[in-house]
Amino acid sequence: MAAAAGRRVTAADVARAAGVSPATVGFVLNNTRGQTISESTRARVLEAASRLAYRPNSAAQALVSGRSRIILLVLPDWPLEFLLRNWLDEASRVLDESGYSLVTYARRPNGATRPLWESLNPDIVFGLVPFSDDDFVSMRGCGIRRIYPDPARWDNTELRMAVRTGPELQVAHLHERGFTKLVYAALEEPRPYSLVEARHRAACDHADSLGLPPPDLRLINYRDGSAERVVRDWHAAGVTGVVAFNDDVAATVVGAALRAGMRVPADLAVIGHDDSLIAATFAPALSTIGFDTTALGRGFAYFALHEVEGHPLQRWQAPENAAELVHRETT
Amino acid sequence: MAAAAGRRVTAADVARAAGVSPATVGFVLNNTRGQTISESTRARVLEAASRLAYRPNSAAQALVSGRSRIILLVLPDWPLEFLLRNWLDEASRVLDESGYSLVTYARRPNGATRPLWESLNPDIVFGLVPFSDDDFVSMRGCGIRRIYPDPARWDNTELRMAVRTGPELQVAHLHERGFTKLVYAALEEPRPYSLVEARHRAACDHADSLGLPPPDLRLINYRDGSAERVVRDWHAAGVTGVVAFNDDVAATVVGAALRAGMRVPADLAVIGHDDSLIAATFAPALSTIGFDTTALGRGFAYFALHEVEGHPLQRWQAPENAAELVHRETT
DNA sequence: CTGAAAGCGCTTACAG
DNA sequence: CTGAAAGCGCTTACAG
């Protein structure tokens, strides 16, 4: 047998085993609409395919259909893992039900020079922050027709959740608690980062809408011991609240403040972002923003399906209460 | 022009523009060895390809060559992000230089039902822990010839770094500092997990070789407040040292111990794993195991290249000092 | 040194 | 209801 010879099983093998043509194998296995198949033929094909453990060659399918059924999600150059865990699980699950595979790809400065979309041939590419012009041109050149965010449609709710909703809730909470002189804090490492800028901008915009001065962006180092001095300087400059990029940053700031002999939140209030494990664990426990990542992941998957199938949603229905303030001890 | 018509540029388009055959385009662009090409022809082809921004269709290449030039790395169902950041950057960079793309894939219980190797057609699949028999069969059925770890070659040094080296250093350090009654701690969430078991086993083995009793595996919850009681119970039972799966777990244990009024490390010593950001940030700062993730990523890439090209390395040269103890305040 | 031809494994009009 | 044929975009013997 062909299969026994070490060769991979092809549609032709299945056809031979079932006593039909390769075309019929395709009709049965793909449930080709507009094509009627007798019950007995269908049964024989299915039996043979299952017995031979036939798996279509995805490269051949991609070549002939012009579609890879791969959805590529390009992640920004900044830690998102905690937020993304359930999100990706759920999104992958939903997309899989429709025959799509979700591949994630962290595009980093010193990473691969040949971007992954070149070898993967995805049907659609998503990013959480806008793509550079170079990336855009590169994707187009690889025959990728659907790229998101599309500059013309940049205010999508899914992206708001990743970028704007958190900072807005953070600033609003500090404002409510009476902390009005704020800074926006992120870490120097691992590298420069686009998502920090986007969230910082959202924080500034929301501060402005509340009549607060814009929180300056401050980068801190978590290893060299300089954080204590930095935090003390903030205090001396009258800063009363810190909007942290994520809970790790918040923990770093709180730790530094405690070492510097300050009281949290009396001397300095700090709010994190993500409601990650460390937020509940840290002493004092961190106030933060929690997200219903499963609901958001499902929402993304539906959105992606509509886009990739060429039926874009007219408007995006955000999950109710997908983001919420978690008030603990640092504000 | 074809390109202007919205169609993707093909080798035939380049051939037409350069006044040669499609075959010649392939010879030039692939530097086909054993095929001599005149300088003028080569120049014309390269010029045309560059002018038209030609990108070979990867599906067609995969179909005809039987190789996708994709390397799939299946990650375990447990947080590894901090460790993997530089590791993946470096591995991707090195593999890219040889024309391979590294795709990562977190295989999770409620994740996609159709595994990614089916749609990606990778040339080789790596896992950090052994694959289930089902997965193994599934990969074989998809025509994947190279799967790693191969049960027959399971003691590879790369994997030791992910699985055994850290726990060994953790146990050895606690032993040296005089902490001999140990538990191995991990978090209940997000879910069951294979890497925890593997590391716990490594810790037990090393404890045994040092003449210590095996540290029991204990799962703790970081949200429901039960951790304080659990930690107090450990203390009451005479436990003096905690080997934590990673720094997040260590932070949770230390935080619970402090809230329970215990002294760290006097009442309970705790050692983390990863030297992540939180290890340096936490108050008290966590003792932990740091890894030279860049060197390890590079090492993996070389190893993967040899495997995928069919020239397996006879033995693997581990980077010197790729793992080291970082002694801070919790031991 | 270069081109015409076959073929990778599928899908999809088109006949019958 | 089913099959023979063409074709997706490449690569690679094989001629010349």
Residue A282 zone, left/alpha/beta (φ > 0; ψ -120 to 50; rest)? beta
Q: Which helix (H) or strand (E) holds A126?
A: strand A124-127
Whether residue A2 is contained in a domain is answered as no
* B197 and B277 within one domain: yes
Footprint of strand C on the protein (CB under 7 A): A 7-12, 22-23, 25-27, 29-30, 32, 54, 56-57, 60-61, 63-65; B 19-24, 27, 35-38, 40-42, 60, 63-64, 66
Does B173 share its domain with B192? Answer: yes
Evaluate whether residue B63 is within a structural domain: no
Contacts of A9 in chain B (CB under 8 A): 141
Q: Can you state the percent helix, strand and coil of chain A, rounding each to 5?
A: 45, 15, 40
Whether residue A326 lies inside any domain: the answer is no
Residues B143 and B249 occupy one common structural domain? no
The verdict on A256 and A181 lying in the same domain is yes
Sorted by sequence, the CB contacts under 8 Å of residue B62 that are 6+ apart come out as A59, A62, B68, B69, B121
Q: Which pLDDT belongs to residue B274?
A: 93
Residue A204 lies in a domain: yes
Q: Which residues contact B192 (CB under 8 A, 6 or more apart)?
A: B77, B109
Same domain for B167 and B269?
A: yes
- We report the CATH number of the domain holding residue B16 as 1.10.260.40
Tell me how many domains chain B contains. Answer: 3
Mean pLDDT, all residues of chain A:
87
**Terminal alpha carbon distance of chain A:** 71
Q: In sequence order, what DSSP letters do the residues of A267-293 get, joined into one string?
A: T-EEE-SB--HHHHHSSSPPBEEEE-H
Structure tokens at A232: 């003390």
What distance in Å separates the CA atoms of residue B116 and residue B137, rounded to the nearest whole number?
14
- CB proximity B62–strand D (7 Å threshold): no
Residues 219-248 of B with CB under 8 A from A: 222-223, 248
Across the A:B interface, residue pairs with CB atoms under 8 Å apart total 155
Tally Cβ neighbours within 10 Å of residue A297. Answer: 24
In a domain, B90, yes or no: yes
**A174 has pLDDT over 50:** yes
A209 lies in some domain: yes
Shared domain check, A286 and A173: yes
With CB atoms and an 8 Å threshold, state whether A93 touches B112: yes
Calpha distance B20→B16 (Å, rounded) = 6
**What confidence category does residue A57 fall into, taking pLDDT thresholds of 50, 70 and 90?**
very high
A88 touches chain B (CB under 8 A): yes
Same domain for B279 and B182: yes
Same domain for B38 and B77, yes or no, is no
Say if residue B278 is in the same domain as residue B165.
Answer: yes
Residues of A within 8 A of B63 (CB-CB) are 57, 59-60, 63
B298: Cα separation from own chain's centroid: 12
Residue A1 has a pLDDT of 40
The CATH number that applies at residue A200 is 3.40.50.2300
The answer to whether the C-beta of B61 is closer than 7 A to strand D is yes
| Alpha-carbon torsion, ordered A242, A246, A251, A252, to 10 deg | -80
Question: Could you say which residues of chain B have pLDDT below 70?
Answer: 1-6, 78-79, 81, 108-112, 151-159, 190-193, 314-320
Same-domain status, B221 and B112: no
Start-end of H helices in A114-226? 116-120, 133-141, 157-163, 165-176, 194-209
Asked if B158 and B315 count as a contact pair (C-beta separation under 8 A), the reply is: no
Domain shared by B97 and B213, yes or no: no
pLDDT higher than threshold 90 for residue A123: yes
**A:243-302 residues touching chain B, CB 8 A cutoff:** 248, 251-252, 255, 258-259, 277-278, 280-283
Question: Residues A168, A90: one domain?
Answer: no
Tell me which residue has tokens 């037990």: B204
In this predicted model, which residue has the larger pLDDT, A264 or A282? A264
Instruction: Please list the residues that pair with B99 across neighbouring strands.
Output: none
The pLDDT of residue A134: 85
The shortest CB-CB distance from A96 to any of B55, B102, B113 is to B113
pLDDT-derived band at A131 (thresholds 50, 70, 90) equals confident
pLDDT at B4: 45
Task: Tell me if A4 is assigned to some domain.
Answer: no
Q: CA A162, CA A91: separation in Å to the nearest integer?
A: 15
Q: What is the SS3 assignment for chain B?
A: CCCCCCCCCCHHHHHHHHCCCHHHHHHHHHCCCCCCCCHHHHHHHHHHHHHCCCCCCHHHHHHHHCCCCEEEEEECCCCCHHHHHHHHHHHHHHHHHCCCEEEEEECCCCCCCCCHHHHHCCCEEEECCCCCHHHHHHHHHCCCCEEECCHHHCCCHHHHHHHCHHHHHHHHHHHHCCCCCEEEEEECCCCCCHHHHHHHHHHHHHHHHCCCCCCEEEEECCCCCCHHHHHHHHHHCCCCEEEECCHHHHHHHHHHHHHCCCCCCCCCEEECCECCHHHHHCCCCCEEEEECHHHHHHHHHHHHHHHHCCCCCCCCCCCCCCEEEECCCCC
Least confident of A101-105, A106-110, B86-90: A106-110
What integer pLDDT is reported at residue B127 of this predicted model? 87
Confidence at residue B191, expressed as pLDDT on a 0 to 100 scale: 65
Residues spanned by the domain of B22: 11-56
List, edge to edge, every strand of the sheet that includes A269-271.
A216-220, A182-187, A241-244, A269-271
Tokens linked to B330:
């919790």
Our CA angle for A74, A89, B295, nearest 5°, is: 55
- Find and list the nucleotides of strand C having atoms within 7 Å of a protein beta carbon: 1-5, 7-13
Top residue of B135, B230, B278 to mutate, by most chain A CBs within 10 Å, is B278
Q: Residues 6 or more apart from B156 whose CB is under 8 A from it?
A: B149, B303, B316
Q: In this model, does residue A26 exceed pLDDT 70?
A: yes
What torsion, rounded to 10 degrees, do the Cα atoms B7, B12, B18, B21 define? 180
pLDDT the model gives residue A137: 85
pLDDT digits (tens, 9 = 90+) for A182-226: 999 998 876 656 788 889 999 999 999 999 999 999 999 887 878
Tokens 């760290």, located at residue: B264
Asked, for residue B1, whether it belongs to a domain, the answer is no
